[in-house]
Amino acid sequence: MEGIWKKKDLLSLYDLSPEEITYILDTAEEFKKVSQRKVKKVPALRGKTVVNLFVEPSTRTRMSFELAEQRLSADIINISAETSSLKKGETLLDTAKNIEALQVDLIVIRHSAPRAPNFLAKRLKAGILNAGDGSHSHPTQALLDIFTIREKKGKIKGLNVSIVGDILHSRVARSNIWGLLKLGANVTIAGPSTLVPREFTQIGVRVCDNLRDALEGADVINLLRIQHERQQASYFPSISEYTNIFGLNKESMRYVKPDALIMHPGPINRGVELDSSIADGPQSVILEQVTNGLAIRMAALFLVAGCLKGRDTSQ
């Protein structure tokens, strides 16, 4: 397995081969053990500097990345849009170049514009880790989802995975779809037809208009947070209609296999996309996803940092 990872950036799962994805998962398994020790810190990134550039706000992803960096002994700087020069009209590229001029090794970026991380990766020597870019990609979230599935089911290939909710605006869905397809899972997406683009059938995804079809036979059900904010208001009638038709509740659980995993990237809307009892029930792995996220981010930071060689920081 040595030397499979050769990328200085982690941008999207679309860019990765099945071997590369598997390699990150295997590496994360090792890092998961670290977090179970008494002393949870390793010196893997000692002397390296990581900047968390969160142009779009985030709580859980940012916390997870930060903790992963700390456990790897990296030096950390946090920048958020509200407190940065981006507010003063500096361009993203200039902000990033200024960060790089301080001999920063890695930049973890969250941005509302799709492919902003790719934009930086192309132009900077620093390694770029995408912590979510608009509706485009959220590779570490998908990796932690896949890691959790593999851990529970022992494999990915051949599993039936259904993703339910707002697929159109979801970077989590896009990343999961690519990762799962590459590893040989059967992927189904479901939700209000206005939020479930038909175009996904062209890459081999099954599209369902009704929840029951998506639930029956599924080994994994990944529920996405549904929002009914002003700009999305015209996609479906109301939260209560969504809950009635597409929510996972006691009634619709009848169609779910007893050994199916219930997943959610968080934050959950209890009683909207899923019932509280199910979120807290035996089939739910929602909190394990959070735990595994730490291992995945440690692995991603470690692998990307290992590919910065050839970069002369004295220049």
Partner 1 sequence: MTEKSSYILTGARVVDPSRGIDEIMDIGIENGKIANPSEVKGSEKIDLSGLVLAPGFIDMHVHLRQPGNTASETIRTGTMAAAAGGFTAVVAMPNTNPPADNAGSIEYIRRQSVLEAVVKVHPCGSMTKGQQGQEMSGIGTLKRAGVVAISDDGKCIQNHEIMLHVVEYSKSFNIPILDHCEDDILASHGVMHEGYWSTLLGMKGISPASEELMIARDIILARMVEWKIHIQHLSSRNSVELIRNARKEGIMVTAEVTPHHIALTDENIKHFDTNYKMNPPLRSEEDRKALIKGLKDGTITVIASDHAPHTETEKLVEFDYAPFGIIGLETSVPVCFTELYHSGDLSLSELISKYTIGPARVLGLDSGTLEEGKDADITILDIDIEHNIDASNFYSKSRNTPFDGLKVKGKAVATIVNGKFVFNTLMG
Interaction site with partner 1 (CB under 8 A): 14, 91-93, 111-116, 118-119, 134-137, 168-169, 171, 174, 197, 199-200, 202-203
| Identity of the amino acid at 184 | G
Structure tokens at 240: 């209560």
Nearer to partner 1 (CB atom), residue 93 or residue 102: 93
Nearer to partner 1 (CB atom), residue 53 or residue 256: 53
Judge residue 224's burial from the number of C-beta atoms within 10 Å of its C-beta, 0-12 exposed, 13-18 middle, 19 or more buried: buried
Nearest distance from residue 34's CB to partner 1, in Å?
A: 33
Nearest distance from residue 17's CB to partner 1, in Å?
A: 18
Nearest distance from residue 167's CB to partner 1, in Å?
A: 9
Nearest distance from residue 279's CB to partner 1, in Å?
A: 26
Nearest distance from residue 110's CB to partner 1, in Å?
A: 13
Distance (Å, whole) CA 269 – CA 156: 27
In the chain the beta strands, taken as DSSP E runs, fall at 49-54, 75-80, 106-111, 127-133, 160-164, 186-190, 206-208, 220-223, 261-263
Structure tokens at 206: 């099954």
Please provide residue 132's backbone torsions phi and psi, each rounded to the nearest 5 degrees: 115, 115
Give the residue from 245, 171, 254 showing the smallest Cα distance to 215.
254
Nearer to partner 1 (CB atom), residue 137 or residue 148: 137
C-alpha 229: how far from chain center:
22
Nearer to partner 1 (CB atom), residue 137 or residue 186: 137
Nearer to partner 1 (CB atom), residue 135 or residue 283: 135
